[in-house]
Amino acid sequence: MNKKITISPVTRIEGHARVTIFLNDEGKVDEAYLHIDQFRGFEKFSEGRYFAEMPIITPRICGICPVSHHLASAKATDDILGVDIPRPAKLLRELIHMGQIIQSHSMHFFELAGPDLILGWDADPRIRNVAGLIQANPELALKAVKLRRFGQRIIELVAGRRIHPTFAIPGGVNQAFDPKSRDEILKGIDEMISYVEDGISIATKYIEDNKEVCDKFASFPTGYMGLVKDDGSLELYDGKIRFMDKDGNVVKDFKDKYYLKYIGERVEDWSYLKFPYYKPLGWPEGVYRVGPLGRLNVVDKISTPIANEHLKNFKKINDGKPVEGSLYFHYARLIEAIYGLERAREILEDPECLSKDVLISGKVSNEEGIGVIEAPRGTLIHHYWVDEKGTIEKVNLIVATGHNNWAMSKSVENVAKGFIDGKNLTEGMLNRVEGAIRCYDPCLSCSTHAIGKMPLLIELYDSNGNLINFVKRD
């Protein structure tokens, strides 16, 4: 009889994940699954609302990347009006998006990935955390805080508030930008780039010292997906969706409005979250990854100089072929943070960012609206169906964590097989399994977080199904 290790939630409130690892009689891993018990209730909750409310409602899906939902939603409402918003409004929307990318990517690296990479996977869990990081490198911790503040400050200065902005509205944005705010942001960009460069030095040193681990850790072939500009360069706010196969061939560039033609969603009975795949290749050949690793794999170049130089190094990791190791997500994330800072500067130096031409009016013209954006964690799709008065009849949301669902489960299995010894289970082994999920920066517990919610409970069962050990993660 197989042994079973379960990393499970205590309730099924949205935001919980559970990892189940099956051991064979020799104590080796046979199979592993990541179960995400996430309900898609927000789609139902939105039905009957007026479409213009959606950019305000949907950011409540996530307390960490509300700006991404805000903007994807606003784009979908533009589509319902059938308008092409003024360029200054696009610039300002993109600017707060860059603020979001900077703060989210930076904090993920320093706060979540940092303890593993800097203090070690097997370090005592009592010090393998932010407190240990502060103690080990207080300057680095301070830089992490400053980067987070800087990204949030951009959002606050442009959108008026950093939490749940109401800035983007159907047809544009509700306020113009002022020169003082522009100057304040511009003044800080070089310093922030230097902080991210410090992070890149840590990441590349780790890769250099642990090349074999990086190449094997949760490494497997998949397709990749992300937005690109017409010239194939990195795009986070707009653009066309590019799908690349596991061998690095660009299979298709398509407009976001055709996503249903190319993206299918498979249902598995062991997870509430669906498994998106590239329809023309079918299941499971069409599984793919999104987010920083997916994006840097699909792009040909980056339009900003410093990030593009880093991209060239990234592309060398697998001689121009797709980079498969999930630990490389962390490196890719920092390169995108540099892009976010450089792109913010480009926008701020564009005189049109101060224009007052930020809104175009319109009326409900289309029965459907689709908004696609590259959120920090990957491609985010908002699709609304409305009646003639603009009342929401149906909503379809595909979030980044959904696109990466199959890959996260595969990563858990890959790492479990490589590191778990059921006869001699250590905390460090389980930390590596969690680390595989961490690479994807999933959005699992954003929507609720009441006291008592337990993101992870790791349980070890013997061959007779008796619980013999467990580890809790608060």
Partner 1 sequence: MLKETNKTVLVGFGNEYRKDDGLGIRLLDLIDEKISKIKIQELSIDILDDIKDFETVIFVDAALEGEDINLRKIEKEPKFSPLTHHLSPEELLIWAENINKKNYEFYLLSIKGYDFDFGEEPSEEGKKNLLKAKDFLLKFLKEH
Name the residues that contact partner 1, by CB under 8 A: 11, 13, 17, 41-42, 44-45, 57, 60, 63-64, 66, 104, 107-108, 111-112, 115, 125-132, 134, 138, 141-142, 145, 148-149, 152, 162-164, 431, 434, 437-438, 442, 444-453, 455-456, 473-474
How many angstroms separate the CA atoms of 220 and 448, rounded? 32
Minimum distance from CB of 359 to partner 1 (Å)? 27
- Transcribe 370-438 into DSSP letters: EEEEEETTEEEEEEEEE-TT-BEEEEEEE-HHHHTHHHHHHHHHHHHHHH--TTS--HHHHHHHHHHHH
- Residue 44 vs 255, nearer CB to partner 1: 44
Q: Which residues contact 373 (CB under 8 A, 6 or more apart)?
A: 68, 71, 72, 75, 97, 227, 236, 237, 238, 379, 380
- Residue 173 forms beta bridges with which residues? 168
State in angstroms the smallest separation of the CB of 89 from partner 1.
26
CB-nearer residue toward partner 1: 278 or 384: 384
Q: Which is nearer to partner 1, 267 or 450 (CB)?
A: 450
Residue whose entry in the numeric block shows the structure tokens 């033609």: 261
Q: Which is nearer to partner 1, 134 or 360 (CB)?
A: 134
Least CB distance from residue 364 to partner 1, whole Å?
A: 24
CB of 135 to partner 1, least distance (A): 9
Pick 310 or 382: Cβ nearer partner 1 = 382
> Rounded to 10 degrees, what is the CA torsion of 270, 436, 293, 141?
130
d(CA 72, CA 325): 29
Q: Least distance (Å) from partner 1 to the CB of residue 257?
A: 28
Kindly tell me which of 152 and 297 has the beta carbon lying closer to partner 1.
152
Where does 301-390 have alpha helices with state H? Answer: 305-316, 328-348
Cα Rg for the chain, rounded, in angstroms? 22
Residue 377 — φ and ψ, nearest 5°? -90, -5
We find the least distance from the C-beta atom of residue 146 to partner 1, in angstroms, to be 10
CB of 129 to partner 1, least distance (A): 4
Q: Give whichever of 170 and 435 is closer to partner 1, judged by the CB atom.
A: 435
Rounded to 10 degrees, the C-alpha dihedral 427/433/438/443 comes to -110
Count of C-beta atoms within a 10 Å radius of residue 160: 12
The contacts of residue 131 (CB under 8 Å, 6+ apart) are none
**Least distance in angstroms from the C-beta of 128 to partner 1:** 6
Minimal distance, residue 61 CB to partner 1, in Å: 9
Q: Which is nearer to partner 1, 212 or 474 (CB)?
A: 474
Give me the least distance between CB of 329 and partner 1, in Å please. 14
State which residue, 126 or 187, has the beta carbon closest to partner 1: 126
Which residues lie across from 226 on neighbouring strands? Answer: 242
Q: Which is nearer to partner 1, 390 or 435 (CB)?
A: 435
Torsion, Cα 283 285 291 292, to 10 degrees, reads: 180
Tell me how far, at minimum, the Cβ of 208 lies from partner 1, in Å.
26
In terms of CB distance, is 126 or 389 closer to partner 1?
126
- Measured CA distances, 145 to 186, 224, 245, 360 (Å): 18, 31, 38, 37
CB 167 within 8 A of CB 70: yes
- Whichever of 163 and 467 has its CB closer to partner 1, that residue is 163
C-beta of 62: minimal distance to partner 1 in Å? 8
The edge-to-edge listing of strands for the beta sheet with 288-289 is 250-254, 240-244, 223-228, 288-289
**E strands in 144-274:** 168-169, 172-173, 223-228, 240-244, 250-254, 263-266
* Residue where the block lists tokens 């389980």: 430
Please answer whether residues 223 and 286 qualify as being in contact, where contact means their C-beta atoms are separated by less than 8 angstroms: yes
Q: What 3-state DSSP class applies to 316?
A: helix
Structure tokens at 29: 């891993």
